[in-house]
Amino acid sequence: MRTSVPDLSVNKSPEFNPKGLSIPELLVSDGFITRAERGRIEKFANKSDLSFIKVALSFGHISRKNYYRSIANAGYEVQPIRELAFDKDVLSKIELEFADSHLALPLRIENNKVVTVMADPTDRLFVDFIRMTYNMEPEIIVADDLDIVWFSHKLIGEKYVKSAVFELLNRDPDSSALTTFTAPQLVLLFLLLGLIAAGLVLNFKAVTIILNVAMSVFFLVAIVFKLFLSLVGSRFELHQAVTKDDVRDLIEADLPVYTILLPVYKEDKLIKKLIWNLQSLDYPREKLDVKLLIEEDDEKTLNAVRNLDFPATFEVIIVPFHMPQTKPKACNYGLLFARGEYLTIYDAEDIPDTDQLKKVVSLFNKLPENYICVQSALNYFNRNENFLTRMFTLEYSYWFDYMLPGLDTLDIPIPLGGTSNHFKMANLIELGAWDPFNVTEDADLGVRAYAKGYKVAIVNSTTYEEANNEPINWIRQRSRWIKGYMQTYLVHMRNPAKLVKKIGWKGFLGFNFFVGATPITFLIYPVLLFVFLSYVVFNIAAIKSLFPDWVLFISIFNLMVGNILMIYVNMMAVFKRRFYELILFAIANPIYWLMHSAAAYMGLYQLIVNPFYWEKTNHGLSKINNPTNVIK
Amino acid sequence: MRSKRPLYLLIITALLAAYYLFLGIYLNKLGYYNQESLFYIEKTKILFDGLGNRLKIMGLTSPMLPFFGTFIFSFKNSLLAPVFASAIGTAMLFYVMASTLTKRSHDDFYLLLILVVFVFHPGMLYTACSGKSIYMVLIFFYLFFFHIIRYYKSNTTFHVSIASICLVILVFCDYKFIWLTLFFIPLVLFIAIQSLNLGEKETIFRLFKSFNSPALRRKLINKTFAIYIIIFILPLSTVLIFKMLNLTHANDLDYFIDSPYATWTVLADRMSFEQATSFSHYQSSQISPLVTASIALFCPMIVVAIYLFRHNTYETLTIMAPFAFVEFLQIKYDKIFLSYEYFLIFLVLSLLCLILRGHSHDKQMHMKTILSILVLFQLYTGYTFLKKSFISEERDFATVLFNPAPVDKQAGNREMADYINTLPSNGRILIDDAIAYPVISFTDHVQRLTLPYQETYLSASEAPEHYVSYILIATDTNPMTSYTQLNYRYVPAIKHSDNNLNLQKVYETDDWILYKVF
């Protein structure tokens, strides 16, 4: 059945749409989509409450360039709209979700008509909405859909962005990192510092020796614990949480809608790669709800999407400007528009195993109800690029292949990785989603999930990312992570007794060793190394008195055994991954840890002066071509 | 019934430990001691009661882990601590083996076989009741080979890294096991070649192919190197660290293997060789390559073990590696006799192979018959090898085990210690524990002794009248007299340098003279 174009005032050239076709008809007539495809789009649009044009542009049916070429040929003139005047009263009558799903927005009343920007001027449903809501005819301005999205989120997205920022704070203020240090924490901290200072004044040597030994013992216990965890983790090396048969047994029609959030900021270089990676995912396209979250001020990425000359497989969401400008805030904002039963986050440069989503669905089907999150392993596709990428690969292999499975086995809270953590949507919302004030929102969420009695599982699937290959960029990224760990530690240690009650002693100790000890270790490491080297190399007499024989014995033992064990677990991890060429690089770990220490000090400084600042990591610097990780 | 197997196993283990303890304490009461356990007893006493800086004793006493193993049983009775350690340790070895077996097979025959070996084999009784550290060596030797063989099958990092950790512990139980690493070098290359995806089946052609293709060559080298690293870096680096600790605390990298203050083996090995070579007969079985033949005679079950793995080249080569290791020891330490421990490792290895493969053999009846005969035969060879050992304390054990009568090997040391115990509490005694550790191990008040680990020792030996009231001197009949400064030459020398010094003999045994200092 053909629908006729309504008689509306539309910006058009003289030879406007001579055949009087609707946009779907126009696209079929121009050969950009087939009739069958049009039928599929309409069916899916009806089922998902989205407009035809939204589905066509966001689910890989037609590229934006072709679409606008088609409507231009039909006589429509696409106008810039960002500077147009708007009336808040008019805007107050439309919901953002509706505007977003129809790629249209009424702006103001003019000449007794509602000035409305639309990407599809033939969208009858929206036109009827305008007529019924405002009791006037629309004055349609055809505009770029991305401009409409940008404009609509900016103009009517305020309550959503407020919700994204303050939801957790309002619901559970104790879990929000808005307050970095609480008063009791500050009192305790200064009390401790005061006691140490007083002790140093009263008996410098004894107190220094005590501190020295305490630090050494702490180091050793932490490292032995990590070795233990690695061995526990490596035990399950061959265990496959989900097998190929499990994946094969899934019925596509029964698969749930899966939301993928892609928070990006100035990632214009990666958009093409991103689409390629998303297209490689083995999951029914119409059951994917992919949302590219672009910040309001990020013109670069928006233009990159606009200039794509092939169909996009994601929906663009513009995150209105609001402090703090962090990834979790963007994710919370995207969450408000998510339609999936499950949700995951990928970075723009991520290359997940193609069957990852199916594996997660299968695993969730197997697991008890209280498992609300599944973490995939992360690794790097550009591991052999330079020293830094090699070291990063060693670290990630050890962390995701051994530590997290080890924590999982011992039922200790898992600090989630930045991406590829898959959630049950309902539970994620129940938890209050991500903390926008926390710069490692993932680790924080992992602990919060455990505190509520939920569990996190590990799936045998890997997402390949781009390892940071520039030292400064690396330090910036790492400083954010370490700052985030400090924030997370401070948040959850506001009431240690309560935390013990929530996650038990095992979880409490695990949390302290992993989240708390990590920044402390990196802060202390260069100090101890400096003192020790000064003692050994320069034989400074003053330092010598701080190392009586037995302290020296413990220190040497710690320094050597600690380093060796950490090097060894790194070796184990790359051995497991069969990255044999990297094994010797594990020896360079002590140098790599010095870089961590630099980042830790930067993180500490920022924690004090600028706790919510999101130290942006530049992606797309790698020159390595990244093949898609196809699972056969 | 089967669900209760772990419980039964625990009960059997507890009974076995009680049996070993009973036997060990009984032999101990009959007067059986050995150098190693006396050495540990003495060091433990210093740690508990000694004065001065005991850090070196605690950190550098070697072999370190057996010493600590004894140390943890020393709270009640330090004299029996080594026996407790070895009895419980050997029972644990049984438990580890039996639990591995019960996870794989429900056939109780093999469990019975292991139990028979543990209850009756003189070697296992020696391990359990002597107070020596063989039990620890056997446990970690077993675990090392178990995980290596498991690695071949599972290809998991877990098994290879656990094997590496076991090797570290093994090295710290007996330093000579560091040489075992040598014999894995060709094996690892072989494993790496086999793991390459090549159409060629023959090893030599695989090697040829992989060396002539740059990509395969790189892959082969990377993999071989990676396996070496993952297995050997831990033992090698821990040894290096330990040497470093020796350097910083004793100014000698090899203090732990060369100093009689750090390890009992230095003097014990020399003594046993000196004594044995003075025998008139020729020590034929200790001449390579007859060692391999003696091993096969001592433990013919190892041949069955190799037979069971005949289709698995890695495993076969792995089982062969200890043969090469023992042959190497024979050449490297040509002035030391191979102790019983190095024969027992083959017994453990053959049991491991039986545990892994015995129950899956097609002809179980034949297998069980052969094994039963071999076990009985091994009980006899075990006794013979112990009885005819070149090491006196091994022969002594056999003697006291099969002819339970009091032995008086330590009577002189004990007699001297008893006398020292009666001395007034304010009288300090200068003793060199390089050779006098058996005496110290029987004394009750270590804090009265001035020993070489203490700062005052050197001054006391130079000017005894200012520091001590007594000096213990080794007589010229003491077999170890030449290994201490405080021997029969010391008295005239010190009198010569200090004319005012008066020394009066207050007690004398065959090996010791105690002088009072005026």
Based on its alpha-carbon atoms, the radius of gyration of chain B, rounded to whole angstroms, reads 25
Residues of B in contact with A575 (CB under 8 A): 157, 160, 226, 230
My answer on whether A460 and A494 are in the same domain is yes
- Would you call B245 and A561 a contact, using CB atoms and an 8 Å cutoff? no
State residue A546's pLDDT score: 73
Chain B positions touching A223 (Cβ under 8 A) are none
B402, B437, B470 - which closes a domain: B402
pLDDT band with cut points at 50, 70 and 90 for residue A1? very low
B379 and B237 in one domain? yes
If one compares B100 and A171, the residue with the highest pLDDT of the two is: B100
Q: Among partner residues B158, B230, B241, which is closest to A564 by beta-carbon distance?
A: B241
Burial class (CB in 10 A: 0-12, 13-18, 19+), A83: exposed
Quick check: B243 contacting A, CB < 8 Å?
no
Same domain, A396 and A281: yes
Share the mean pLDDT of chain B: 87
Residue A175 lies in a domain: no
pLDDT value, residue A13: 45
Assess if residue A404 is contained within a domain: yes
pLDDT for A60 equals 81
Would you say B57 and A555 are in contact if contact means Cβ atoms under 8 Å apart?
no
Looking at the structure, tell me whether residues A151 and A194 fall in a common domain: no
Final residue of a structural domain among B402, B420, B454: B402
Shortest distance, CA B55 to any CA of chain A (angstroms): 6
Q: Please indicate if any CB of chain A lies within 8 Å of the CB of B158.
A: yes
Q: For the domain that residue A533 is a member of, what is the CATH number?
A: 3.90.550.10
The span from the CA of A406 to the CA of A404, in Å, is 5
Last residue of a domain, one of B402, B425, B442: B402
> Does A203 share its domain with A62?
no
Same domain membership, residue B397 and residue B309: yes
Phi and psi torsions of B231, nearest 5°: -85, -45
What single-letter amino acid sits at A560? M
Quote the pLDDT of residue B121.
95
Half-sphere exposure in the Cβ direction for A415 (13 Å, CA): 26
Tell me whether residues A572 and B241 touch, CB distance under 8 A.
no
> What local confidence, expressed as pLDDT, does residue A539 receive?
66
> Which of B157, B159, B169, B228 to substitute to test the interface with A, most A CBs within 10 Å?
B157
- Judge if B393 and B451 occupy the same domain: no
- A167 within some domain: no
Enumerate the residues of chain A whose CB falls inside 8 A of the CB of residue B215. Answer: none
Cα–Cα distances in Å, from A122 out to A84, B173, B307?
Answer: 21, 85, 83
Residue in this structure with the two tokens 């093999």, named with its chain if needed: B110
DSSP 8-state class, residue A423: E
Q: Rounded to whole angstroms, how far apart are CA atoms B386 and B398?
A: 6
B245 reaches A (C-beta below 8 A) = yes
Min Cα separation A391/chain B (Å) = 16
**Same domain? B372 vs B468:** no
* Closest-CA distance of chain A to residue B211, Å: 17
Beta carbons of A512 and A485 less than 8 angstroms apart: no
Of B59, B161, B238, the CB nearest to A231: B161
Q: Cβ contact (<8 Å) for B59 and A553?
A: yes
B449 and B486 fall within a common domain: yes
Nearest CA in chain B to A560: B241
Residue A629 has pLDDT above 70, yes or no: no
Q: Any idea which residue has 């892609």 for tokens?
A: A262
Residue A162 lies in a domain: no
B155 touches B359 (CB < 8 A) = no
- Tens digits of per-residue pLDDT, A83-127? 888 888 888 888 888 888 888 888 888 888 888 888 888 888 888
Query: For A516-531, how does the pLDDT look when each residue is reduced to its tens digit (9 = 90+)?
Result: 888 888 888 888 788 7
| Helix (H) or strand (E) run with residue B471 in it | strand B470-474
Task: Check whether residue A61 and residue A105 sit in a common domain.
Answer: yes
Using the beta-carbon criterion (under 8 Å), do B161 and A234 form an inter-chain contact? yes
A221 and A324 housed in the same domain: yes
**CA neighbor of B383 nearest in space, from B326, B346, B343, B327:** B343
The predicted pLDDT at position A5 comes to 42
- Window from A524-528, B169-173, B373-377 with minimum mean pLDDT: A524-528
Residues B90 and B238 occupy one common structural domain:
yes
Q: Are residues B422 and B275 in the same domain?
A: no
pLDDT over 80 at A324, yes or no: yes
Residue B292, pLDDT > 70, answer: yes
A373 and A283 part of one domain? yes
Residue of B nearest to A536 (CA): B248
| β-bridge partners, B201 | none
Distance, in Å, from the CA atom of A106 to the CA atom of A88, rounded to the nearest integer, reads 10
Q: Chains A, B: CB contacts under 8 A, how many? A: 72
User: What is the domain-level CATH number for residue A92?
Assistant: 3.30.300.160
Total structural domains within chain B: 2
DSSP B263: B
Say which amino acid occupies A140. I
- Minimum distance, in Å, between the CA of residue B262 and any CA atom of chain A: 16
What domain range includes position B221? Answer: 2-402
Q: How confident is the model over A339-354, as a mean pLDDT? A: 88
Tell me what pLDDT residue A8 has.
Answer: 47
Within this chain, do residues B119 and B261 fall inside the same structural domain, yes or no? yes
Q: What is the pLDDT of residue A192?
A: 92
Residue pLDDT, tens place only, A492-516: 888 888 888 888 888 888 888 888 8
Q: How buried is B54 (Cβ within 10 angstroms: 0-12 exposed, 13-18 middle, 19+ buried)? A: middle
Confidence of residue A534 (pLDDT cuts 50, 70, 90): confident
Cα distance between residue A12 and residue B85, in whole Å: 96
Query: Nearest to residue B386, comparing CAs of B32, B40, B50, B71?
Result: B32
Choose among A550, A560, A576: nearest Cβ to B244: A560
Q: Which residue of B has its CA nearest to A398?
A: B157
My answer on whether B391 and B439 are in the same domain is: no
- What's the mean pLDDT in A439-465? 85
What does the angle CA B163 – CA B99 – CA B371 come to, to the nearest 5 degrees?
95
**Which pLDDT score is estimated for B174?**
93
* Closest to A246 in 3D by CA, of A399, A131, A355: A355
Q: What is the mean pLDDT of residues B470-492?
A: 89
A377 and A508 share one domain: yes
Highest mean pLDDT among A423-437, B91-105, B190-204: B91-105
The token pair that represents A374 in the structure block: 């599944």
Task: Please state the φ and ψ torsions of residue B195, each to the nearest 5 degrees.
Answer: -80, -5
Task: Look at B222 and A575 and tell me if their CB atoms are within 8 Å.
Answer: no
* Same-domain check for residues A108 and A199: no
Interface test with B, best of A409, A569, A580, A582 (most B CBs within 10 A): A580
A424 phi and psi angles, rounded to 5 deg = -80, 125
Interface TM-score (ipTM) > 0.85: no
Per-residue confidence (pLDDT) for residue A6, from 0 to 100: 44
Give percent above pLDDT 70 in chain A. 92
- Eight-class DSSP state of A260: E
Question: Is B247 in CB contact (< 8 Å) with chain A?
Answer: no
| pLDDT tens digits along A360-415 | 999 988 888 888 898 888 888 888 888 888 888 888 888 888 888 888 888 888 88
- Residue B217 sits in the same domain as residue B281: yes
Residues B44-61 pLDDT 10s: 999 888 888 788 888 889
Residues in B touching A553 (Cβ below 8 Å): 55, 59, 245, 248-249
Residue ending a domain, choose from A121, A156, A191 = A156
Residue-range definition of the domain harbouring residue A138? 9-156
- Smallest Cβ–Cβ distance between A234 and the set B157, B219, B248 belongs to B157
> Which of the two residues, B301 and A572, has the higher pLDDT score?
B301
Phi and psi angles of residue A370, each rounded to the nearest 5 degrees, phi first = -75, 0
User: Closest approach of chain B CAs to the CA of A583, in angstroms?
Assistant: 6
Q: Per-residue pLDDT for B334 more than 80?
A: no
The first and second tokens of residue B421, run together, are 């115990």
In chain A, the number of structural domains is 2
Residues B130 and B208 in one domain: yes
- Interaxial angle between packed helices B301-308 and B290-298, expressed in degrees from 0 to 180 and rounded to the nearest 10: 90
Share the mean pLDDT of chain A. 83
For residue B430, pLDDT over 90 is answered with yes
Most confident of A70-79, B243-252, B436-445: B436-445
Looking at the fold, whether B139 and B248 belong to one and the same domain comes out as: yes
Q: Provide, as residue numbers in chain B, all residues whose Cβ is less than 8 Å from the Cβ of A552.
A: 248-249
**The predicted structure's pLDDT at residue A620:** 62
| Contact (CB<8Å) A571/B223 | no
Confidence of residue A17 (pLDDT cuts 50, 70, 90): low
- Tell me, yes or no, whether A152 and A191 share the same domain: no
Mutate to test the interface with A, among B158, B165, B227, B256 (most CBs of A within 10 A): B158
- pLDDT for residue B140: 95
Chain A hits for B160, CB-CB cut-off 8 Å, are: 575
pLDDT at B326: 92
Q: Say whether B157 and A552 touch across the interface (CB within 8 A).
A: no
Q: Cα distance from A457 to chain B (closest Cα, Å)?
A: 20
Same-domain status, A185 and A132: no
Q: Are residues A214 and A71 in the same domain?
A: no
Q: Which of A575, A584, A589 to substitute to test the interface with B, most B CBs within 10 Å?
A: A575
Q: What pLDDT, on the 0 to 100 scale, is given for residue A435? A: 87
Identify the weakest region by mean pLDDT among A9-13, B130-134, B160-164, B506-510: A9-13
How close does chain B come to A231, measured CA to CA in Å? 6
Q: Is B280 or A555 the better-scoring residue by pLDDT?
A: A555
Residue A174 belongs to some domain of the structure: no
For A571, the closest of B230, B241, B248 (CB atoms) is: B230
Is residue B10 over pLDDT 90? yes
Residue of A nearest to B246 (CA): A553
What distance in Å separates the CA atoms of residue B67 and residue B63, rounded to the nearest whole number? 6
The answer to whether residue B489 neighbours chain A at the CB level (below 8 Å) is no
